[in-house]
Amino acid sequence: MGIAGNEWGFQVGTLPKGARDKISDVPGVTVGHCTLADGVVQTGVTALLPHQGDIFHEKVLAASYVINGFGKTTGLVQIDELGTLETPILFTNTLSVGTAQNALVKYMLEKNPDICETTGSVNPVVCECNDCGLNDIRGLHVTEQHVFAALADCKADFAEGAVGAGRGMRCHGLKGGIGSASRVVELDGKPYTMGALVLSNHALFDDLIVAGTPIHTLLNNSIPPHEDKGSIITVLATDIPLSERQLRRLCRRALVGLSRTGSYCGNGSGEIVIAFTTANRVPHYSEKALLPMTLLHDDAINPLFRAVAECVEESVLSSLLHAETVTGNHGQTFRSLTELLKNRA
């Protein structure tokens, strides 16, 4: 549940949190995992469903933003051109993007007989980070069945930390992975939710800031030297009616949350952000040329920017605090921040 109620007293931001303090506080959003944890195999797949309906025929407005483009995410070109998301979002390791994309295509073809028959193709979205530090990534251990398992596992109350695609990831030299958080904002007297989910695999230990505190000042543990190479994928979801342009503005603010945790977005680190709203949907077929749409006034967007910054910051910390120590390929070990804090206590 995010880092809400954590025993270390870390508090991020001032906005109220959602009931779960996860991206799934946005109604309809669910997340599932398939985790591979066996010796040198430390990897997996994570899936995110934007809503519980037919995503291909009822698309959600979406946008993306590449902070630093050291990455292999698929599907961003069409998202940026058309402003819609029409498949679940998958996360896995770098060399398994092709496998995950094939599986996602099969998943969509099974659910939508009209694809490439009476209508056009489909735009599968697959995100990645490189987990070769802990995982035998060259072994290509992720299969299509693992993708299907993650999709079948999607639920609102999902696990965080070293699970799914996050199993082999490291963050600030420690064990990273999947993290999530949410915030609630009020617009015209009605509560709305902003949520974030990250796959963290980036940055340096000496730069890590936890709720405003440089973590190395709290810990005497020696962390092996490492480079700022890896990536972090961030997905933002909301039920606030927004345009693609406004969603892209939210994507840019993810950098605020990343920088608050100490990231400077190094040369070899890919920072990619995708945002969508479940409020404004686009039908695949329409008898009408003009579609109605509700939009937020730009003068009211500041609370959303704050919510994104807080959600992303907390999601990174949540990925660290939920992850256990993992030993994998070549005997490499990435240590759990929570275990280090407990040892200190």
Task: Supply angle C-alpha 36, 91, 79, rounded to 5.
Answer: 165
Residue 271 annotated in active site: yes
Tokens of 282: 């686009």
User: Could you give the residue ranges of the DSSP H alpha helices within 89-241?
Assistant: 97-111, 144-152
Dihedral sign of CA atoms 81, 85, 86, 87 in order = positive
Residue 231 annotated in active site: yes
Contacts of 52 (CB under 8 A, 6+ apart): 28, 30
Burial class (CB in 10 A: 0-12, 13-18, 19+), 251: buried
Residue 315 annotated in active site: no
Contacts of 190 (CB under 8 A, 6+ apart): none
Query: Which candidate in 64, 182, 231, 319 is catalytic?
Result: 231
Query: In terms of Cα–Cα distance, which of 169, 157, 159 is closest to 33?
Result: 159
Q: What residue has token string 């906005």? A: 15
Burial class (CB in 10 A: 0-12, 13-18, 19+), 39: exposed
Query: Which candidate in 263, 269, 318, 319 is catalytic?
Result: 269
DSSP 263-330: ----TEEEEEEEEEEEEEEEESS-S-S--------GGG-HHHHHHHHHHHHHHHHHHHHTPPPEE-GG
Inter-residue contact 25 to 6 (CB < 8 Å): no
Inter-residue contact 28 to 7 (CB < 8 Å): no
Inter-residue contact 210 to 326 (CB < 8 Å): no
Query: Which candidate in 271, 310, 313, 314 is catalytic?
Result: 271
Inter-residue contact 167 to 329 (CB < 8 Å): no
Distance CA 283, CA 186 (A): 28
Catalytic (active-site) positions: 231, 269, 271
